[in-house]
């Protein structure tokens, strides 16, 4: 049975958890990154959730639904890029990077499933 609210979606829960982990970890980023990397990684990770909420409201229109889920996927990929920079700048440990990357990869797989099978949502 499909979810009755976007907050019930497994992918939303996982994306929200990732965004909150990124928020917590990015508190330790240097002050000079406040309006650069810190802002960007927080924004893109949160946008995954926002786009999922919008997509859920568009689910009766498959093309619109897929478009919004695709936007969420794009934001998830952008988050992965910022994670790469975070590792390269040594703002996160290798273990943190691997954990966050695995979570982001899983979110990406779930988003791709939503795009492939919109009728299930």
57 occurs within a structural domain: yes
CATH of residue 75's domain is 1.20.1440.60
**Quick one: pLDDT band at residue 1, thresholds 50, 70, 90?**
low
Q: Residue 69: what pLDDT?
A: 98
Please check whether residue 3 lies inside any domain of the structure. no
User: Is 2 a member of any domain?
Assistant: no
| Res 3: pLDDT | 76
The mean pLDDT of the chain is 96
Q: Residue 62: give the domain boundaries.
A: 8-120
- Give the global pTM: 0.94
Q: How far is CA 106 from CA 37, 50, 72, 88, in A?
A: 23, 18, 13, 22
Confidence of residue 64 (pLDDT cuts 50, 70, 90): very high
Cα angle 24, 26, 28; round to 5: 95
Split into its structural domains, the chain has a count of 1
pLDDT of res. 85? 98
In a domain, 1, yes or no: no
Q: Is residue 40 part of a domain?
A: yes
What tens digit of pLDDT does each residue of 4-63 get? 889 999 999 999 999 999 999 999 999 999 999 999 999 999 999 999 999 999 999 999
Q: 4-24 in b/e burial notation, b at 16+ Cβ within 10 A?
A: eebeebebbebbbebbeebee
């Amino acid at each position: 049975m499909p979810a009755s609210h976007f907050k019930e979606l497994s992918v939303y829960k996982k994306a929200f958890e990732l965004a909150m982990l990124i928020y917590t970890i990015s508190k330790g980023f240097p002050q000079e990154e406040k309006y650069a990397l810190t802002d960007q990684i927080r924004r893109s990770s949160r946008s995954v959730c926002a786009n999922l909420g919008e997509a859920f409201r568009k689910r009766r229109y498959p093309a619109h639904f897929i478009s919004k889920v695709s936007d969420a996927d794009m934001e998830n990929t952008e988050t992965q890029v910022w994670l790469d920079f975070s590792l390269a700048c040594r703002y996160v440990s290798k273990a943190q990077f691997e954990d966050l990357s695995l979570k982001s990869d899983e979110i990406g797989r779930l988003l791709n499933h939503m795009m492939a099978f919109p009728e299930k949502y």
